[in-house]
Structure 1
Amino acid sequence: MIAVAEAAAGDEHLRILALLSRKLMDARFRERLLEAPDRAAVPGLLGEIR
């Protein structure tokens, strides 16, 4: 789920999806995501996407 503020609801979700797709093309990031020690670590990794 991608949640954005109502004021930015127009196409912000598309910008976030584009950033995420680019980050997922990075093999090192995918590896870190897959090797996250627990579910709580995943939001921290996803927070790197900007």
Structure 2
Amino acid sequence: MFCQQQFALCLGPSLSRILLRIWLSSKFIGDRSKPKVAKLAALDEKYRK
């Protein structure tokens, strides 16, 4: 089952909270994402009001 816009509803609130807790507590390793994160940080710095 794939609900696209209502993904959290497909998972249910309990599983959504568990997955979010795991994701937020995971260590960011970087690797492939590091350049993308740097670009987003630069854009955030430039346009932050």
State if a TM-score over 0.5 links the two structures: no
TM, length-normalised to structure 1? 0.33
- The structure with higher relative contact order (CA 8 Å, sep 6+) is 1
User: Whose helix proportion is higher, 1 or 2?
Assistant: 2
TM, length-normalised to structure 2? 0.33
